[in-house]
Amino acid sequence: MIAPLSAAVRDRPPPTIAEHVIEVVGLTKRYGRTVIHEHLDFDVRRGEIVAVVGGSGSGKTTLVRQILGLERQTSGTIRVFGQDTASIDAHTARLMRSRMGMLFQQGALFSSLSVFDNIAQPLRELGRVPRALLRDIVMLKLEMVGLPCKHASKMPAALSGGMVKRVGIARALALEPELLFLDEPTAGLDPQSSEEFVELIATLHRALGLTVVMVTHDLDTMTSLSTRVAVIADRKVLVAASVEEAAGVDHPFIREFFLGRRGRRALQALPPERRAKLPPAALASASSEVSL
């Protein structure tokens, strides 16, 4: 269960931030005449949890899909694990994909497959895994995300939103990736489930030494989990820095997102030494206004 796992890693230091695992340089992406990204730069180092934020339609999912190789860039370079994704052969691309896990924004699970078969699917795709081993791996992943084995035979429709996300994570972890992508992992969850989810990701980050790229609209998730936040606006990454540094950048999206009432409330929950680095506008009262 997750409780013993989270207790076991609580005192462990977070993974050391090391070499680059993602380097995106001068990325441009167009759909027809619509420019989504223009000369965008983005990088992630091993051990980081990078939150990607930006308005709806700003190209967050599209950026992740290009890094995963599910979508081809118009121009620019994307290096993952030091390799240029545009110049690798199919075999290397498959190997690279097996080092990355993804929780998609939509359709986290196949609705026609049981929990067991959803988690087993990436392993089955990989080739022949002996039945007993497959069972052990699936049960281990379920346990890792804090779900009792009895849920293995359930269909996705019989699960709560929080459980669907957990099973999605278990599936994303099936091949033991080094790099985990989460696209809006707490969207649609109630505050309690969101908090549990944040705890789960923090635990897995420590326990597995994962590197995480997490697209999110959720300010609390962003402030409590991320080591850095990358803000997408005006078709590029406007700033990629600590939450407190990003909050000080003068830009309409940042003012609206970080310095609105909800943003201020999330920022003011930072530990004191980080709160001290916030811009003054972030420290204005977050409780007096009635509007959301």
What is the binding site for Mg ion (CB under 5 A)? 61, 105
How many Cα neighbours within 13 Å face the side chain of 26?
3
* Cβ neighbours around 66 below 10 Å, total: 23
SS percent in the chain: helix, strand, coil, step 5: 45, 20, 35
107 binds ligand ATP (CB under 6 A): no
Instruction: Provide the residue type at 290 as one letter.
Output: V
Binding segment for ligand ATP (CB under 6 A), chosen from 53-61, 133-141, 144-152, 253-261, is 53-61
Query: Is 106 one of the binding residues for ligand ATP (CB under 6 A)?
Result: no
Helix or strand (DSSP H, E) at 247: none
Binding flag, residue 31, ligand ATP (CB under 6 A)? yes
59 binds, among ligand ATP, Mg ion, none (CB under 5 to 8 A by kind): ligand ATP
Q: For residue 41, which of 177, 192, 235 has the smallest C-alpha distance?
A: 235
Residue number, 114 or 226, with CB nearest to ligand ATP: 226
Residue 117 pairs with which residues in a beta bridge?
none
CB 184 within 8 A of CB 215: yes
Instruction: Decide whether 13 or 57 has the Cβ nearer to ligand ATP.
Output: 57
Q: Does 186 bind ligand ATP (CB under 6 A)?
A: no
- The amino acid sitting at 220 is D
Q: Binding residue for ligand ATP (CB under 6 A) from 54, 76, 168, 177?
A: 54
Task: By CB under 6 A, tell whether 68 contacts ligand ATP.
Answer: no
Q: At closest approach, how far in Å is the CB of 239 from ligand ATP?
A: 16
Instruction: Kindly state the smallest distance separating residue 175's Cβ from ligand ATP, in Å.
Output: 24
Cross-strand partners of 66: none
List residues binding ligand ATP (CB under 6 A): 31, 36, 54, 56-62, 105
